[in-house]
Structure 1
């Protein structure tokens, strides 16, 4: 199997490197990742400046672009042939609930689905002391499952792995996206020259512990598997808005 690996943590990320080295024992692997961290890049594509590529090792490349740029470059320029699978990760930190809309990790997998290639985003639910070795073993199991059971059209997977030993994990749980409770702040500061600048951020990690969601699954020790789609239409609202908006102005 030809696998394209990318991430939003950058080419030097341990999660990316360990996954590459492990998958190479049974697959052909091409790595194309940002030269620096591009967290929260979402689905940005570089259109107004040139993209640079640096070879970092055997079939391993760093680019000046975003995670989505990496997928496009990997598929159309660098990979020898069309990838059978695209994996984005292993991300340092979770990507659950509404966070998938900000995530460069998830966006890279989504771009793969746009291109018609089976794709998945893989994240570990930790902020430090990452158990990447265990997460790699989980990812290998998922690769085998996806290889045996191809993804449906326009579907890609969002995987979140609890940061515990693999022996303590309870298994997989197919879950919906949960709901995070944000506490974002915009902090205004003044630089040494008197200019104003701002930091955007927040310290909240709260979420609604709803049963069947990715947050709840990971909290209970399961690997959450969330099938995501390319159609973001709110189908439950279609009927109402057909009544509100008539065909004749």
Structure 2
């Protein structure tokens, strides 16, 4: 089984090394193609206004001067000798829960794989403390990663779908199990906007996620992780709101 690994935290991210350990439990045909620098929050973006450069670091390890989507595209078109059987994106430093998936480069890399018709899974490690930088404990992801992935290897994926996995911020032996849950949502209108002044006296603004309300009382990925479970959420690319189709069609009939 050929596996492509990528991420949005960059080619040297600790979570990518964790993902290598997880993937090595499943196959020995592992290829890596990831952004050369961190691309958190890049979403499903392509680099269109400058050239993208490909660098080889080892026999099956490459980086791309672009986004996670660029990395998957370059891997499929220029790097791999043939299509992979599986694409794994992560392990992200931090959660990708609820509607965070719309911003996430980690999830978007898996989304790009799904568009190419390849089984694709995004993996993220939640952490509870702030200010840790790269010093995030990936123990839950490392211990539970292969346990989550193995049942998905022969599970049929519907076309244009992917799976989003989030590991709770717990020690490996404190994780309660695996729970399949729907995507939750945040109230981003209540997120923080931090204002400051740089050393030259100019104002700046920094978006923060403090104070964002979640979906209390509902069985979503947010609550699954908060309750100590690994959250497994199937996602699909069809954003059409079917319930509005007939209403809007009637509106324009006149």
What corresponds to 1:111 in structure 2?
Answer: 112
The whole-number CA distance in structure 1 between the counterparts of 2:197 and 2:229 is 45
Mark the runs of 5 or more structure 2 residues left unpaired by the alignment: none
Q: 1:209 and 2:216 equivalent?
A: yes
* Within-5 A mapping of 1:62-141: 62-127=63-128, 128=132, 130-141=136-147
Does the residue aligned with 2:214 lie in a helix, a strand or coil?
A: strand
CA gap 1:81/1:137 in 2 versus in 1, 3 angstroms: farther
CA gap 1:184/1:220 in 2 versus in 1, 3 angstroms: closer
Q: 1:2 and 2:8 equivalent?
A: no
The whole-number CA distance in structure 2 between the counterparts of 1:220 and 1:200 is 27
What corresponds to 1:150 in structure 2?
Answer: 156
The whole-number CA distance in structure 2 between the counterparts of 1:106 and 1:171 is 22
Most deviating of 184-193 and 160-169: 184-193
Q: 1:57 and 2:63 equivalent?
A: no
The whole-number CA distance in structure 2 between the counterparts of 1:192 and 1:218 is 40
Q: 1:224 and 2:238 equivalent?
A: no
TM-score, length-scaled by structure 1: 0.91
Alpha-carbon RMSD across the aligned residues, in angstroms, is: 2.0
Cα offset for 1:4?
0.7
CA gap 1:219/1:201 in 2 versus in 1, 3 angstroms: closer
The whole-number CA distance in structure 2 between the counterparts of 1:140 and 1:46 is 32
Cα offset for 1:195?
4.8
What corresponds to 1:19 in structure 2?
Answer: 19
CA gap 1:193/1:94 in 2 versus in 1, 3 angstroms: closer
The whole-number CA distance in structure 1 between the counterparts of 2:203 and 2:72 is 36
CA gap 1:220/1:21 in 2 versus in 1, 3 angstroms: closer
Q: Provide Cα deviations, 1:46-69, integer angstroms capped at 9, x if missing partner.
A: 112111122222311121100000
Cα offset for 1:185?
4.3
Q: Any conservation in 1 of the 2:7–2:92 contact (CA below 8 Å)? A: yes
Most deviating of 95-104 and 138-147: 138-147
Does the residue aligned with 2:17 lie in a helix, a strand or coil?
A: helix
Does the residue aligned with 1:244 lie in a helix, a strand or coil?
A: helix
Mark the runs of 5 or more structure 1 residues left unpaired by the alignment: none
Does the residue aligned with 2:66 lie in a helix, a strand or coil?
A: coil
Identify the match of residue 234 of structure 1 among 224, 236, 241: 241
CA gap 1:193/1:244 in 2 versus in 1, 3 angstroms: same
Q: Provide Cα deviations, 1:125-159, integer angstroms capped at 9, x if missing partner.
A: 11545332430232212321121213121110011
The whole-number CA distance in structure 2 between the counterparts of 1:198 and 1:91 is 25
Q: 1:173 and 2:179 equivalent?
A: yes
TM-score, length-scaled by structure 2: 0.89
Cα offset for 1:205?
4.6
